[in-house]
Amino acid sequence: MATYIGFNTIGKKRKFTLTDYDLVVRDVLNSLLIRKGEKLGRPDYGTDLWGLIFEPLTDQVLKQLQQELRETIQQDPRVRFEDAQAYTQPNGILVELFITVLPTSEQQRLSLFFNKDEQTLQLI
């Protein structure tokens, strides 16, 4: 029996139901796509990551990026933020995000690409 059950229509033609790890990952991606203040009734929900994506990746920006990822991930009680590493790419930033989906204790790695040109987030 699934611990978490939800729905997703992104890239799906049928079978919109997601469970457990897949659902939590989809929700994490959604929260990283929502800018702070965009969600009606929840001005604190979302992230300011997109403002940092266009900055040169200095040590200070990297720390801000990690802090913003931590704060965004911690908004979801099903996920524990472990670590994040960022790497510059020609048209964006590649982030390796390490999380633990609760109630498990197994650490998961998500490779995320923030595309500056298209302003999209892609799970690699």
* Residue ranges per structural domain of the chain: 5-123
* pTM (two decimals): 0.81
pLDDT digits (tens, 9 = 90+) for 21-74: 888 888 888 889 888 888 888 888 888 888 888 888 888 998 999 999 999 999
Residue 73: predicted pLDDT: 92
Nearest CA among 68, 59, 52 for reference residue 119: 52
Beta-bridge partners for 97: 84, 110
What is the DSSP annotation of 67-99?
Answer: HHHHHHHTTSTTEEEEEEEEEEETTEEEEEEEE
Q: End-to-end alpha-carbon separation of the chain, Å?
A: 28
> Given pLDDT bands bounded at 50, 70 and 90, which one contains residue 1?
very low
Please determine, looking at this structure, whether the domain spanning 5-123 carries the CATH number 3.10.450.40. yes
- In 3-state terms, what secondary structure has residue 18? strand
Question: Could you give the CA distance from residue 11 to residue 87 in angstroms, rounded to a whole number?
Answer: 27
On the 0-12 / 13-18 / 19+ scale of CB atoms within 10 A, 57 is middle
